[in-house]
């Protein structure tokens, strides 16, 4: 018999895992972030790049998100993330023939 989880319950579990993120290389957590990023990318038409461990300049784990030709014209929920890279530039790079995930 299976336990049945709602989408809200799954979101709470994901939030709990992220809240307890390791501050060092952890293959299981890297795989978790990559999997979650791939799911988010598929939903929002993004290409997913490198998953990086915490470093001095970035004390949290990071995931590279690349716009694609199908990413929302306003940047969707990613418009406010990483304000050093403007939405127009991010979208333009992702929509160019040479842009996107490296």
Q: Are 58 and 52 in contact (CB under 8 A)?
A: yes
State the DSSP code for 78: G
Asked if residues 79 and 71 have their Cβ atoms less than 8 Å apart, the reply is: no
Residue 54's pLDDT is 95
Q: What is the pTM of this model?
A: 0.85
Residue 21 C-beta-side C-alpha neighbours within 13 Å: 18
For 70, the token pair is 């199908």
Whether pLDDT at 24 is above 70: yes
**pLDDT single digits (tens) 48-101:** 999 999 998 889 999 999 999 999 999 999 999 999 999 999 999 998 855 445
Could you tell me the two tokens for 67?
A: 């716009």
Q: What percent of the chain has pLDDT over 90?
A: 88
- Mean pLDDT, range 29-54, rounded to an integer: 97
């Amino acid at each position: 018999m299976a336990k049945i989880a709602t989408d809200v319950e799954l979101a709470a579990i994901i939030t709990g895992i992220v809240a307890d993120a390791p501050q060092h290389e952890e293959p299981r957590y890297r795989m978790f972030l990559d999997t979650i990023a791939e799911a988010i990318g598929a939903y929002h038409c993004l290409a997913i790049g490198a998953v990086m461990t915490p470093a001095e300049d970035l004390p949290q784990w990071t995931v590279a998100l690349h716009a694609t030709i199908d990413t929302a014209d306003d940047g969707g929920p990613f418009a406010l993330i990483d304000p050093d890279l403007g939405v127009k530039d991010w979208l333009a790079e992702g929509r160019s023939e040479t842009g996107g995930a490296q």
